[in-house]
Structure 1
Amino acid sequence: MTALHSANSSTAVGHFRMFIGGEWVDTDEHFEIRSPATEELVATVARDDVAHADRAVAAAASAHRAGIWHLTPPAERAAVLRKVADRFAERSVELAELDARELGATIRLAEPMHFGAALPHMQYLADLTARYEFEQGGPLVGPVLASGRVRREAIGVCAAIVPWNIPLPLAVWKVFPALGAGNTVVVKPDEHAPLMVLELAREFEAAGLPPAR
């Protein structure tokens, strides 16, 4: 349940909103995201509550029942995941700077470790979505001669809780497989380090992920 509006300058203070049911949602109360290294104000983020969480889950459940995403062919789901991976690769310098400021890390650590861990997994999971056998069939010889079919289907709404320490890789490892399998996802980032998850939500929207309504 994430969304955002971020400032253009890498040192400007941006404000990030939540993304619920295909809408950007702001609140009267905000979190302040400060660098653990310098205590500078990096961004402000909408502060959600139980009602927002319930609304996000209801939207994700409604979207799953509607079937738009899990009925989308795996190759098309994979294409959305690849678009997100490509955009993160294109923005890696900009986002590594934001990641470093948010976590109090160095660019030398953030760029190769955080993005270096996340980007290959984004691409791998997109490729896996395209080639995975979600449906298999063929003759069976026992106990009787017959034909059978195995169909692997999405289970519904997945909750992804993302800790603060390496938020981008941790989010990728949870969100990409769940979406690749056709599920809907509600993401709860850590309130101290939500910005990479918010940027991930931004790129999923831009890549054409259907809104959860």
Structure 2
Amino acid sequence: MDIGAIRKEYTQSGLSRKDLKRDPLAQFSLWFEQARTAEIKEVNAMCLATVRPDGMPQVRTVLLKIFDQQGFVFFTNYRSAKANELADNPQASVLFPWYDLERQVRISGPVEKISKQESFKYFTSRPRGSQLGAWISEQSQVISGRSVLQTMLRQMKEKFKAGTIPLPDAWGGYRIKPVSYEFWQGRANRLHDRFLYQQDGDEWRIDRLAP
């Protein structure tokens, strides 16, 4: 299969320094809302990159659930592969691939667990089925088949058939605390607009990058 000729010109928009907010979180908020308005599918989906102890990078898609001045929060099993990687090297990068708008945002920084209280607050907002799922899945572990999950689901439905489902000990949130943001806008002839925000004390330095 020859895929070398697959090509698309990016012509929707451009990005100049005068368009940028001084605060990268404000710029992200603006683009995120524009992506929501454009009805981008899974607008809060982000590709999360971590590194294994042997140096092999790993990437997967997770969902952003909170973002504010404190950072960007996602939730997972604390015994998962990503959790083990973050325990060894608490640094990560995420990428928001908003292809329909010919945009990408990349954010990097150190990662920390959020408090159990914060995790419980979000956990109780999830649909009951998702709460049960957090108790069932030993994320990233080998299982013999889907029947294992179905059996455990029946057991958990019975166990928690009445009342509030408690927060699993091995489930909660991580917060990425950004030290850099890159905003990427596709342009014609592959001469894309790229702006990098880097933390410089209490301020953010903004540099245009070559495409």
Q: TM-score range by the shorter chain?
A: under 0.3
Q: TM-score, normalised by structure 2?
A: 0.23
TM-score, length-scaled by structure 1 = 0.23
More strand by share: 2
When Rg is computed on C-alpha atoms for both structures, the one with the higher figure is: 2
